[in-house]
Structure 1
Amino acid sequence: MPEPIRLPPQPEACELCARNALLTRHHLIPKSLHNKPYVQKRYAKSERITATLWLCRACHNQVHRLFSEKELALTYNTRDSLLSDERLRTFVAWLADKPAGFHPRH
């Protein structure tokens, strides 16, 4: 029997801004694309499922505001690659010192 695929455990703080806020799981390779041939060629099933980050709602919303699902799957599929984008890095730096319950208005 194959080994079950285990998701990474939830940390105490957002993996982008490091705030102790309510966290949501962000799939670095969007679930809606898991069955696309170009995604299946690049990533094993276990990687498609386990490549996740725990993000606060503000960071999660900003990631999806900035990038299409295809961009997320092909280019911004790691924490470091997300933070390589200056727009997201600027947002995360701005958000980092806000209280956990703070939600930016967009």
Structure 2
Amino acid sequence: MEEAERLLLSTERAMKKVIISSIPPSSTPEVISAIDFVVATLASYLLEEGEDDFDLDLTALLLDAGLKNDEDDADNAFTALLETLNIMLDPNSLGSEFEETEDYSHCSMCERHTKLTLHHLIPKQTFPHYLKKKLLPPNITIPNFSKTFKIGQFLNSYGIYVCRPCHSAIHRCETNKVLATEFNNLERLMEHPKIGGWVAFNAKQKVKGEKRI
């Protein structure tokens, strides 16, 4: 098997695992078959075009796969799939979890002036769980949640900007599941005994190439 083929199969498996976990458990064999088509198409397109040039009409793709958008169906697989795909393939989500901003600013945790990365307070690896349940952790309250709220958009933007060392420290201290349920805001993170101690230490460290303001 050639390297390109191995990469394609690996990408397909990773995509399918995330997508399957986000659809209603009652989904029909036709939906599962449609997912195979969607995954194969997306994986090929992504590997050929690359992350930077990714531009595909996801609604049209789902329709081409034979899925119908029944808005009156509470277990509408079309809507669940579209929301999951939009998050997976958002330009801001593709690529490294630790991609830094170009500009310098203050870390929300240690307050050093440096390049930052977005820490998703509900980690991306747990998105499928919340998309499938259409719920958020109990301590997060959103007005008009059931009427106008788009959970996918919220998950993708709900976060804090922190420096790379602080970001790494967060993920060393707890699993993604625990971070999502127990440490999903800045105040809770700072109260974590390991993270609080780390922040106090890191705040005293000099930033390499630091820009003074």
TM-score using structure 2 length: 0.40
Per-residue CA distance 1:18-75 (angstroms, 9 max, x = gap): 0012211110001121121476312633331221111111100000000100011101
CA distance in 2: counterparts of 1:47 and 1:98, whole angstroms = 33
Gaps of 5+ in 2: 1-102, 138-150
Larger Rg: 2
Matched, 1:42 2:136: yes
Q: Give the match for residue 81 of structure 1.
A: 188
TM-score using structure 1 length: 0.77
The offset of 1:97, in angstroms, is 1.6
Q: Give the match for residue 55 of structure 1.
A: 162
Q: 2:198 aligns with which of 88, 91, 102?
A: 91
Matched, 1:12 2:105: yes
Verify the 8 A CA contact 1:18 1:96 in the aligned structure 2: yes
| Count of equivalent residues | 94
The offset of 1:84, in angstroms, is 1.0
> Higher relative CO (CA 8 A, sep ≥ 6), structure 1 or 2?
1
Gaps of 5+ in 1: 1-9
Matched, 1:30 2:123: yes
Determine what percentage of the aligned residue pairs are the same residue: 27
